[in-house]
């Protein structure tokens, strides 16, 4: 059902950071920074769903500034995003970011962001 949404989201994430992956980073050699994203869907009303997209930005180093820059670029890309196809009307409602996630390694940085969006199913 979400086969229309995943390519749209992945294209926008990759426009911000090429090292962008749904759910997990499958690379055997990790390139930093990178981000992962996943979503949860929730019924809103007839032919309308809301989705919550969780984004984690990972960076290795002592300077977290690059993570904040990526977060800003994500905000610029997603904050007012709307897309319409024959099957859906997709729009971002809210961009909530972000919080740092403590890590045992001082040089590994992680920041979490959430994007709330709504999908109107034009053909369901």
pLDDT tens for the chain, residues 1 to 124:
678 789 999 999 999 999 999 999 999 999 999 999 999 998 888 999 999 999 999 999 888 899 999 999 999 999 999 999 888 999 999 999 788 888 888 889 999 999 999 999 987 6
- Per-residue pLDDT, 124: 61
Q: Give CATH for domain 5-121.
A: 3.30.2000.30
Name residue, tokens 């086969």.
3
Give me Rg for the CA atoms of the chain.
15
Backbone angles phi, psi at 90, to 5 degrees: -115, 135
Question: What is the pTM assigned to this prediction?
Answer: 0.90
What pLDDT, on a 0 to 100 scale, did the predictor assign at position 102?
82
Residue with tokens 């759910």: 23
Strand-pair category, 82-84 with 88-100: antiparallel
Torsion of CA 64, 73, 2, 37, to 10 degrees: 0
Tokens 């403590």 belong to 102
Which helix (H) or strand (E) segment holds residue 5: the answer is helix 5-16
């Amino acid at each position: 059902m979400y086969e229309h949404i995943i390519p749209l989201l992945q294209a926008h994430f990759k426009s911000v950071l090429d090292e962008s992956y749904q759910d997990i980073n499958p690379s055997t050699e990790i390139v930093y920074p990178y981000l992962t994203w996943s979503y949860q869907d929730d019924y809103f009303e007839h032919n309308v769903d809301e989705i919550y997209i969780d984004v984690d930005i990972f960076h290795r180093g002592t300077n977290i500034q690059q993570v904040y820059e990526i977060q800003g670029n994500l905000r610029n890309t997603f904050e007012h995003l709307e897309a319409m196809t024959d099957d859906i009307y997709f729009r971002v409602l809210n961009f909530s970011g972000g919080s740092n996630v403590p890590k045992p390694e001082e040089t590994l940085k992680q920041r979490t962001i959430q994007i709330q969006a709504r999908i109107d199913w034009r053909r369901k």
